Structure 1
């Protein structure tokens, strides 16, 4: 799951857009009505597809600036990720009843006539309930990304599986029941496919791997062990790490260390052969056994944390200054000497930014530049932004291209 700040780093260009009269969105009655990976900012919710549309970036960033509380990202049916410190919190951390807007559209109590099923999500995890039976969960989403499972009758859903079986779904609970022909089949890896009468299809088969990301920073956890973080992405650049079993991947190292992957935590554990190897840089390679795709990274020897944390790097991660009215927006990240993200800590708050065209404010990894009187951002081609930490004396300076505004 990416943090909202991380999504911002992937290339949002904030634009001023003219919104047509919104199509009313369906009422949210519970946590399960919120789509996976949706972002909640104050009283507004944004689905992943909507958030990744550049035309919507201005609206979302306005919500970030106005928001007084934290930002939450729904990871799955277990809870939320809290954006300020990247910790996981339970379902009750967000009061669903306070969400008034979905993708910029006002939420009302009834389902709009234009709502229709556009996506079916099938959870690949099955739970054995009997000798020949097991259950799974599913969701049906409309064109706005809202969960409309309860509105689609079971008679409209047809199911099939990779083993001989029958499938019955219950829209009131979002649970499907599989009855297999042989008790031996229940222990196999079952791929489930659901189709509605309009032809929309969903499957529990994991997305095809398109690439890996390996964080080169290692953390010492024992005399001969250290951990690192890795991610697996599909062709849509969605993080599918948790859906890819460790048995589908191989992990090797240049020094023949033993590497064990844990998809649930996106963590790899290295068991070194000696303290000499532990204190040396090694090369790690991950390979998908199905596609043959590989990725390698030189892992940095674990740093023993003896000194107090301090600002070590200030990075403006945007390459373009997004413009909305007389304000410009860019994202930034601050790291300490151990590679930890300290943007939203007291250390990060000590970093100040300046620009040659106006005043700079910061908000949770976002730079907000208000142009000086007499300066029209739409006429500029570039701006200069500099950052400075008075304690560590670390500085940064970048020149950003100014994005063209979309005028109403």
Structure 2
């Protein structure tokens, strides 16, 4: 039976009692480590701010660092969670969510860093980083995580080249491929997008985490570590939707991808989208990213556009060709990018229909929604201490705007939809299995099947 216990809403002193207890660190060390790196990044760019803005830039740098240092102290000493004050469009929603945290506990003093759900305080820290910047123009638009994201892209160049070369080979033979051969290629690019999720800088607290080997050649060795593989159901859903287009019942097949990390993972998502469009399985792809820098390596609009420009500018023939093709998809409206503010709020996705009905309605127009990565999975399942055998559909708690699939490498203490005994066996053989990034899932749900 499922529990409503919040997995990560435990005081750091108790976190060691949780199996695999966030092999990536607790509130007291991982989050302050990220904040310290943010402060250092802003300070190292002091000369840049002076060159661009003069003394105003230096003043802005000092004030921003002061606010972030205060935030780090609040976090480390279990201070109250404070309301946001920067006046951005999401402030009201964030402060209302804080009120929700207060009501069940009946004591405002209990809404503190160590006594609140881990998912909430982790999201809140990134929002407070944004607040510190917004309150101190003119460095408002500075991306404190940009260096790590660009480094991840550059250090994965060999893998990107191999992937784009593989994509070009598919394009050359597309007209000759049988249905089975097309399915084999689909499986490969789908799994590359899955394992691209290993490259998560928030888990490594911003340390180097790139892909250096050919992702295609690694797939066979990684196959045993996919704990749930619903890729066949995804393939069937896309084919069923395409048949409706062929019969004239639908105008086009649309897939939405709720993105996770910039760098190599984003490239794998673009390659997957390219394959699906060029194969005719999908006619439209909507990408959903973040409206400001988030969880160290998450994709923003700038990251999305920059990645395509860099891919175009390379001197590798097939990589450059891919970049130009992706730019063409954007210009033609085959692809489009969105960054709704809901994605940078702490809400579980079962709240979306009530708290962001416009976004929910947008996702309802898709034939398939892919949710990339760990944070999206935590929000899909509410980051709760579910039994491992609880059905994915149950853990979604009513969320189902369209057929959806989670592509995720496991880096948090939540996983549902496993076979009886599977979780226990993994815990016995490999205790940190839920947090190491070694294992993965391709987990599908369709509201149409209920």
Same fold (TM over 0.5): no
TM-score with structure 2 length normalisation?
0.21
